[in-house]
Structure 1
Amino acid sequence: MPQFLLILPALADLILLLQIWKENSIFKLNGRFCAPTSIIVPIRGLDPGLERNVESLKNQDFPCLFEIICVVDPDQPWLAERLKQLGVKVVITSASCSCSGKIRAQLSGLRESTNEVVVFADSDTLYPRNWLREMVGNLDRYTAVTTFSWPAPLRITWRNLIRAGFWTLGFESQASGGTFLWGGSMAFRRNFFDGEVIRELSREWCDDCTLTRIVKNRGGRIAFDGLAIPLNVYDERDLWRWSTRQVVTIVKYSSRGAKAFLVIGAFMLLYLVLFLLTLNPFYLSPHLLWILKNFSRSRHLGKYSYIPSIMSILGVYFGWIKLILDYRKREVLWRDRTYVL
């Protein structure tokens, strides 16, 4: 095997080391801005640990006034009653739009909120106590602030393990310092949601994709905070369909990122093939650094860091295969509803 091929994993190692260094330097914001805040949480169905997730929002270490607005659909009155028992404000979805159910719920929550800051959260996510402080604290310098969740499977199954590795890929969109909003943690000043933004959202399927595009088109700045990473709590029962939705969304709203990942996955496969042909462990060094990169991202999460970091390399191969298979698909199932993108 020609020795010059060793240049390929060496270049990959250098890129990964630079990425680790850069993320450690830009993901710490430590802002001090504070203002009355509304946390809007669209909820459909009963997520695992829903009560605990809502309680994590109620128990935020936040020095300013804040409220939690849970938005549910009118066909789930039992869910509304359950949430009221948790002591949060419950709003029934009422917005009219040609948009997804999640955006309809977000718009309904916006109608009922009056605070200076609006933060969107997800019902399947457990939030650390410093999360709201970190999200709001930097809105005096940025148009929007986001973070990304870390997978926290409820059981050790192959579906849950593969999803854990796949989910870590979401951090790759943040590698240059907050390039993409994540829907489960987005903070804005309320005046951002003018008539133009509301109209844009009212005809879209993906909330974070649309808001990311609007911020960038307006020349705004997105900050990514790595000090308040929430936990995505799940017990995956239909991995194939769930991952199809993720892939179809990426292809539609971030085609450049999808194409870039096709290249990354191909190179990772090449390194694996070269290792199998030569048994030279240096060809596996990008795989090891990929895992270490995810350990670095999640090191302050303790025991929650280990499984997703180790599985992240399997997530690369799974995500690459799914991207190839689903590249031209446009139909997805989300929260019991079918959407054609």
Structure 2
Amino acid sequence: MPEFGFATPSAAAAVADLPWAPLLVPKEAIEREVDRLLDEAPVTGLRDATGLRAASVVHPRAIDGIPSLTPVTEVTIHVLKPGERTPPRRGNHALLETTVSGEGTVHMGTAFRVERHDVWTVPPMQVYSHHNTGRTPWVWLCYSNAPLLRRSGGYWAETLPAGTLAVPRKPAVSVTGELGARYNRLNAPTHRLATAADLRGYEYLTDIEPVANPPRHWAWKDMAPYLPIHAGCNNDPAKRNIWLLYNPATERRQGTTPVHFATYGGAAPGTPPYAGARGHVHISASINYHIRGYGHSIVGGERIDWKAGDLLFSAPGWVEHAHYHGAEGWTVLTVQDHPLHIAMGSLLWQENPGDPILSLGNEDGQKGYVSPRQTGA
């Protein structure tokens, strides 16, 4: 049994200013890793990596042996040759994926075809597999909350026999017959106390009302007409600089998965870049994958130049950041662990230095933010 110790409680200790640093993963490095994965045999014999051509991007601060780009998020590069498919898998992680090049078919009970820049989700405990049904290598990125689960001791995953489409759900003994009728959330006791606080029976903890969370697919061809991609797009009122890929299962958390949101955004060619000298800050960590254009970001006072194809850990939690695109404009897929913080009640946001710090989801939110609708902002 390990020994215990005592320490100054968090409430009494100074807040340590030790954020994970921003990190740029250049397009060229991603392409080299893709070539390496294509040259090697798929990983076999590992419980969590059977039959995969995949590699995760590891931040230098991930020194605990858990591969991750941010403390919460793992970003994995996946590759399949034409005709290859991954074995069926499932886990209690929530996945958000996007195609970098090529095309393929995702199997999750039903099957759907995905192309370049498409985004889709793999819900927790959903059986899934990938099949390259194209003629060129299929490369996609996967964003996962596995690091958070592994660091908390709560990660679970398994590889299933080939051809498995779903795992049958076996009802627990306690939800059938007389016991099931007597002990469930619909007839569990609740007591309202004099202080307006409630007591609830244990059934509320074990018989939780499910929220439907089927796989979601956002096709690039359907999204592109709403994005300012071409010169002159700023005059089209149907286009916006930022769009959330919203999954109704996340409800008020405004997510694409229960943990992450994804947004597509950018600016048309010829749009003046952001003119401000300062950026904004938020607790959620942000990752940008640039699919068009070039420019630079100022993150914590550090200038980072980027171009199409680069992956950038662009905003560590509570680090000031601003983005400045070049003359070609830009298009970017941004992934943040924003819904996770809304669920925890911990999402702090400060749009401009000197503005009040807002606790989003706990109080009235940001109003009058014109950047998504304003040329050059």
Question: Same-fold call, TM > 0.5?
Answer: no
**Bigger relative contact order (CA 8 A; separation at least 6):** 1
Q: Greater helix share, 1 or 2?
A: 1
TM-score by length of 1: 0.26
Larger Rg: 2
Structure 2-normalised TM-score?
0.24
More strand by share: 2
